[in-house]
Structure 1
Amino acid sequence: MTALIIDDEAHAVATLRNLLAEHCPQVEVVATASDVESGLRAVDLHQPDLIFLDVIMPRATGFDLVRELPKVNSPEIIFVTSFDSYALEAIKVCALAYIVKPINVSELINGVALAQQRIGQRISYERTRELLRNINNPRSATNRIGIPSERGLEFVETGNIIRCEGLDGATRIVMKESKDFLSSYNLGEFRKLLEAYNFYAPHKSHLVNLDQIVRYDKDGTILMSDEAVIPVSRRRRQDFLEQMTRL
């Protein structure tokens, strides 16, 4: 989870950094800023998941910054301030937490945990929406699709996928020009998604790109371009051979 600290007091930034490193190691502070203007530039540059935000700063307040954030997919906000009189306004702008300095470690840990939960829910929603978009629009102009992965969404060209392998409810995506990766979606979802792009399921645990097949052997196996040997189930062999003759 990436984070940005926006506070005009250097010692406060250093203190928060140290507390996060010690108690919330899942948070990666990617940048800091000392006012709203530089903070907005940092948000645009780094696209953080979370912002730790002071209220009173030179020329503008933390609330002014929140109002300038995009309405969709904006970072989660945790206010960290010396003033206890702005909590109601923080609630109005949907901040996750309002922490008064000196920072209470339990409040910090709870705020970060809530942010992590909220971000996870948002990623899950985006994954589902992208998968549905792919299924409903099976042939985009570029054949570029979004595949849900453990890191978020991997945007890939379908022609660069060699094969997909089912692994206990997850799927391993084997790529031609980049590292393999895992998706939490099962192989059945990828059959719906990729069969329109010249993919074929020769076996219940495998989905292959027909353009990446090197050879079909008499023993009923396929040699793929990554040198993997994929079985073709007996009941699918005739159908598979018919598919290959249409290429």
Structure 2
Amino acid sequence: MNTSKLRVIIVEDEYHSRETLKGFLETYCPETEILDTASQVAEAVQKITHHRPDLVFMDIELQTGTGFEVLQQVTDLDFHLIFTTAFEHYAIQAIKFSSIDYLLKPIDLDELIAAVAKAKKRVQSQSRQSLLENLLQNMLGGSSEFKKICLSTAEGIEFIPTREILYCEANGSYTDFHLVDKRKLVVSKNLKEYENLLGDFNFMRVHNSFLINLGEVKKYVRSEGGYIVMNNEKQVAISGTKKEEFLRRMGI
């Protein structure tokens, strides 16, 4: 066995999808070695536990349960995970929140190759288990107030509860996260991506440059065209087209 290869398990209950993915990996991803496949929750748990793979492709919906049930039952989550799903599943937001990769079926070959290359780079990462634990917490936890978003910075990976974000500020192709504890985290994704992720968690894009936590607004000032003051006294500009929505959401 070539130990430099990514050792893979495929968890997929649809025969055609399983064989297609297997064929793609064998033909176009020579850096992978398929150890085994599984189609049911209990079988997947047993095989992942036995083989201790580097990479698992996991269908979200299985005939006997879900991929999340597999993760709950595996005691050692030390592997890179790529979810597969045939549609925009309700869980996709939690998956994105936790910085976990996913592929929509039918799987696009170029996207698969890119995902495997990313997994190869992450194979020695010490954060793999933390990413999966955060995913389970986001999926199975209670109030959305306590959801944690995974932010990858130059220093490492941080898991930040959404309630601890004051506002996000556009910084070219980067986003600056300003936190309640006065820290600033710089993340290499643009503000639009976080607008999509945080929109359901009481955040609002009030300006091209600002995405704010509405729960951290101190006051709205009508003079000088109108602006917002956050709890840390930061003055945030608001676009004219956003004022009506902002005031409505604030109950003003």
TM-score, length basis structure 1: 0.46
| Structure showing greater Rg | 1
